[in-house]
């Protein structure tokens, strides 16, 4: 969950502009790559026990034309005694679309599991239809944007093999390769992780021809309730052109959001008090 409430801001724009000159490798104090990956995953997707944010999405195509969407994201992590509890693994998402009017009332929900494929559903109010999103569709466009479904709720870290390629004064740079190459469209990715906060600030995706075709950047990070939080991000398509930006506002953590919010009945009857 990403958002904007705090006052402190990391200079991510300046940082990412100098990624290639971050300095020589720093060997001392480098944790095992598994620990880096686990902590980064926790920072990126599991801040607090739960969370809420208002999100503005702007989709720009290769001709410069734009479309906008506005949504609310609710998130709840599993706690002790619940289904397959695991630190920074199991959680639930509820994404409600407010605008434009042709998608108002659309709901995307995710149940993330540590030991099996995630469950994803999309409710389409115009048809009063709940579509289950197959595991093979998780790396397809999220509501017409340049983000994938999996980008929104996160990818299971166990699905990739990770290698530390550099540890500079400011960054851990990792290369990720899919354990099952036939299950995804990328051959590998390279991710820059801010060493002080474990915020992933840039990810480059490469195809089978080792051609970079997608780039994610965290373009603004703030501290919200003591937690480093991405408040603006961007995904670019380097092959077809175009990009999508996300801006997060009114972020709150630790709201004690009830587990029942993520049940199927709330697809058609959204929790209005949490969506204001």
160-203 confidence digits (pLDDT tens) = 999 999 999 999 999 999 999 999 999 999 999 999 999 999 99
Confidence of residue 274 (pLDDT cuts 50, 70, 90): very high
Within a 10 A sphere around the Cβ of 2, how many other Cβ atoms? Answer: 26
* Secondary structure class of 13 (helix, strand, coil): helix
Within a 10 A sphere around the Cβ of 57, how many other Cβ atoms? Answer: 21
d(CA 173, CA 156): 19
Check residue 78 and give its pLDDT.
81
| Structural domain contains residue 26 | yes
Check residue 236 and give its pLDDT.
98
Per-residue pLDDT at 46 exceeds 90: yes
**149/81: higher pLDDT:** 149
Confidence of residue 72 (pLDDT cuts 50, 70, 90): very high
d(CA 18, CA 206): 21
| Structural domain contains residue 82 | yes
Confidence of residue 89 (pLDDT cuts 50, 70, 90): confident
Length of the chain: 276
Per-residue pLDDT at 114 exceeds 90: no
Q: Residues 19-33: what's their mean pLDDT?
A: 60
- Closest by CA to 125, choosing from 148, 143, 102, 145, is 102
The model's pLDDT over 218-262, given as tens digits with 9 standing for 90+, comes to: 999 999 999 999 999 999 999 999 999 999 999 999 999 999 999
Exposed/middle/buried for 182, CB within 10 Å: 0-12, 13-18, 19+?
exposed
Question: What is the DSSP secondary structure assignment for residue 262, as one 8-state letter?
Answer: G
Per-residue pLDDT at 13 exceeds 70: no
Residues 6 or more apart whose CB falls under 8 angstroms from that of 97 comprise 69, 70, 71, 103, 104, 105, 106, 107, 143
| Structural domain contains residue 1 | no
Mean pLDDT in the chain? 88
- The domain tally of the chain equals 1
Radius of gyration of the chain measured on its C-alpha atoms: 18
Write the CA distances from 2 to 6, 13, 52, 268, integer angstroms. 12, 17, 9, 25
- Closest by CA to 26, choosing from 170, 185, 182, is 170
| Structural domain contains residue 39 | yes
Check residue 261 and give its pLDDT.
95
Confidence of residue 87 (pLDDT cuts 50, 70, 90): low
Q: Which two tokens stand for residue 119?
A: 């469950």
| Structural domain contains residue 274 | no
| Structural domain contains residue 55 | yes
| Structural domain contains residue 244 | yes
| Domain housing 232 | 9-269
| Structural domain contains residue 43 | yes
Per-residue pLDDT at 27 exceeds 70: no
- Closest by CA to 2, choosing from 68, 69, 52, is 52
CATH number for the domain harbouring residue 195: 2.50.20.10
Task: Please report, to the nearest 10 degrees, the dihedral formed by the alpha carbons of residues 228, 234, 235, 236 taken in order.
Answer: -140
Question: What is the DSSP secondary structure assignment for residue 157, as one 8-state letter?
Answer: G
Q: Which two tokens stand for residue 211?
A: 């051609």
Check residue 83 and give its pLDDT.
52
Where do the H-state alpha helices sit in the chain?
12-17, 33-45, 149-153, 265-268, 272-275
């Amino acid at each position: 969950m990403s958002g904007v409430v705090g006052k402190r801001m990391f200079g991510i724009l300046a940082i990412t502009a100098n990624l290639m000159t971050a300095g020589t490798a720093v060997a001392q104090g480098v944790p095992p790559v598994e620990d880096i990956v686990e902590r980064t995953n926790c920072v990126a997707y599991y801040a607090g026990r739960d969370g809420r944010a208002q999100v503005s999405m702007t989709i720009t195509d290769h001709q410069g034309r734009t479309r906008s969407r506005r949504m609310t994201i609710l998130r709840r992590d599993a706690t002790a005694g619940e289904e397959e509890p695991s630190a920074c693994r199991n959680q639930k998402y509820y994404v409600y679309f407010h605008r434009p009017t042709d998608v108002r009332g659309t709901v995307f929900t995710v149940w993330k599991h540590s030991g099996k494929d995630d469950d994803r559903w999309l409710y389409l109010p115009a048809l009063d239809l709940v579509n289950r999103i197959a595991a093979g569709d998780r790396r397809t466009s999220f509501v017409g944007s340049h983000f994938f479904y999996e980008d929104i709720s996160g990818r299971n870290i166990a699905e990739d093999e990770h290698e530390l390629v550099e540890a500079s004064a400011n960054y851990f740079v990792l290369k990720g390769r899919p354990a099952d190459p036939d299950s995804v469209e990328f051959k590998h990715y390279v991710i820059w992780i801010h060493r002080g906060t474990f915020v992933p600030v840039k990810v480059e995706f490469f195809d089978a021809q080792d051609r970079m075709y997608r780039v994610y950047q965290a373009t603004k990070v703030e501290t919200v309730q003591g937690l480093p939080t991405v408040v603006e991000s961007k995904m670019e398509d380097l092959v077809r052109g175009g990009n999508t930006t996300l801006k997060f506002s009114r972020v709150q953590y630790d709201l004690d959001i009830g587990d029942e919010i993520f049940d199927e009945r709330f697809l058609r009857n959204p929790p209005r008090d949490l969506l204001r």
